[in-house]
Amino acid sequence: MNQFSLSGKHVLITGASSGIGRQCAVSCSESGATVTLVARNTDRLKETESQLNGCRHFSVAQDLSELDAIEDVVKSTVKKNGKIDGFIHAAGIEGTEPITLLNAIKYKSYFDINVLAGLEFSRFLTKKKYCNTSYASLVFIASVMGTLGQPGKIAYSASKGALVNAVKSMALEFAGKNIRVNSISPGIVLTPMTENLFASLDADSKQAIINMHPLGIGTVTDVANACIFLLSDAAKWITGTNLIIDGGYSAK
């Protein structure tokens, strides 16, 4: 028996229309899971769905800042493909702004997607009628910026730090239900967003960012593989952990 397989598991993934979320969806399907994709953009969701292995997958177009709609997403998901065994909250927003340009509305936009949407999904996914309570695993994509500082990252770091610490409390609260909860904190990963950033930088600035990571810039597959591990039976004794995947960035 392959302890790393997701065969027979139903995994719901937010932010599945691009970047880390898209690769998590593709990799989970290749590992045998039935996948529900959640994101705002219908066309990009269809593009992700076309890359999945198998045919039982399901897409839901939903703006996750509309927090009141999240239970309906969970209901439709369970009705379509059965109770949920795994969850990856990959949806998120990132930005670089000094505190002088921040205000309560901007802070709320970070927290709505990066934190509150994930917590709302957790509130519903952990109910018996929606969740496989003999075994389930929730994984949250945080960031090394949740534990480290960087100028211009106040709002982003605050939201990711909140997520990392919320995971610890959820892990303790849900352990009695056989539900594990963990987070993953990547460093800079090569995504379309990162490629756009690099395109706007000169060669020296780009190289300086790369040099922050002793093993180089990561890939979305590096993060997706870690998610698969945490969702799988191979990680059945791991909960409340923040797994850092950053090519050595935080070791300096």
For the chain, 252 residues long, give each residue's pLDDT as a single digit of tens. Answer: 799 999 999 999 999 999 999 999 999 999 999 999 999 999 999 999 999 998 899 999 999 999 999 999 999 999 999 999 999 999 999 888 999 999 999 999 999 999 999 999 999 999 999 999 889 999 999 999 999 988 999 999 999 999 999 999 999 999 999 999 999 999 999 988 788 878 888 899 889 888 989 999 999 999 999 999 999 999 999 999 999 999 999 997
At residue 77, the pLDDT reads: 96
Give domain status of residue 250, yes or no: no
Distance of CA 227 to the CA centre of its chain: 8
The residue annotated as part of the active site, out of 110, 130, 156, 249, is: 156
Total domain count for the chain?
Answer: 1
User: What tokens were used for 98?
Assistant: 């000094």
Give domain status of residue 251, yes or no: no
Give domain status of residue 69, yes or no: yes
Beta bridge partners of 131: 84
Give domain status of residue 5, yes or no: no
Name the residue range of residue 184's domain. 10-245
In this structure, the number of other CB atoms found within 10 A of the CB of residue 125 comes to 24
Burial of residue 100 (CB within 10 Å: 0-12, 13-18, 19+) is exposed
**Model pTM?**
0.95
Give domain status of residue 29, yes or no: yes
Give domain status of residue 2, yes or no: no
Give domain status of residue 183, yes or no: yes
At residue 137, the pLDDT reads: 98
Give domain status of residue 120, yes or no: yes
Which CATH number do you get for residue 156?
3.40.50.720
- 107 catalytic? Reply is no
